[in-house]
Amino acid sequence: MPLYFLSRPDCSYDELREVVVRAKDEKEARQLASAYRGDEGEWVWLDNKRSTCEKLQVRGESGVVCADFYEA
């Protein structure tokens, strides 16, 4: 099953900005991100105008897949 990287450009305190999930397709990936959400609400992850969803290559070189630092 592939990995998906979801992100959103605008983010505030106590909101999910980026997430990597394993899902069968983009629809399921967005649903998983929505279920894991913070204060931003579930609709943000289900709307492709408010968030992006990119299928990641499963194979590749060693390295960090996703890291997100929030600075207030």
> ∠ at Cα 5 (10, 53), nearest 5°?
70
As separate numbers, helices (DSSP H) first and strands (DSSP E) second, the chain gives 2, 3
Would you say the C-alpha torsion 22, 28, 33, 35 has a positive or negative sign? negative
**H or E element, residue 68:** none
Domain ranges of the chain: 3-56
What is the pTM for the complete model shown?
0.78
User: What tens-digit pLDDT sequence spans the chain (72 residues)?
Assistant: 889 999 887 777 777 888 898 899 999 999 988 888 777 777 888 999 999 999 997 777 777 777 666 655
